[in-house]
Structure 1
Amino acid sequence: MNYSIGEFSRLINISIYALRYYENENLIIPNREKNGRRCYSEKDVSWIQFIKRLKDTGMPIKEIQKYAKLRAAGDFTMNERMEMLIKHRTALEEKIAKYNEHLKKLNDKIDYYKVSIDKHLQD
């Protein structure tokens, strides 16, 4: 199925402005109809969802651009793309570990307050 820019925008929950920005940054290259209008496919849906995931997990836009360029170049870049994703995964795992440690410390402090408050109420 093919989508106009408006349909695609609603489907993936990204503004038309953001889609045009992504196109400007060469993150997505939509097909064009004979009249020049953008035309998006199901492959574009999964690609944009992947871009959003990379962005949401903290990959810098320059790295996403590099990945997109490699993807557009073809399958012979698969090793390099995989290495990029492995590197990003490692950085993400480190962040998650750090956030889990922060969460543990916050929970410890909350537990401390609960015990202290309960103790003061019983006195």
Structure 2
Amino acid sequence: MLKDWPEETLSVRPLDRYTALVAVTHDPKIDDHPIRAALTAGCFYVGALGSRMTHAARVERLRAAGVAEETIAQIRAPIGLDIGAASPAEIAVAILAEIICARRRRSSNDHSGGTI
């Protein structure tokens, strides 16, 4: 976990296919650049916190920046497995569970229980 400005962090810690990137600020000035960089780098997981409306606005910004639809579709949003999480700790667990699923190359879409 890194907490520097994205441009500074990405200059010293490049992204690759072994990287999971989670954007959590709701601020396009902070989140959009690393999301685009993660998509370009082929990160195994690219997720962004926010409502469906927030994500729709993000998608429009990425389209306007020339990002292809199939690339945009790789973004997980809203992030986390649907476990009915309510508290910040539960949301964190749901996000990490989805990252583990992605890392293991298993689908976590529409998971409603049972073995993943």
Calculate the TM-score normalised by the size of structure 1: 0.27
| Higher helix proportion (structure 1 or 2) | 1
**Higher radius of gyration, 1 or 2:** 1
Calculate the TM-score normalised by the size of structure 2: 0.28
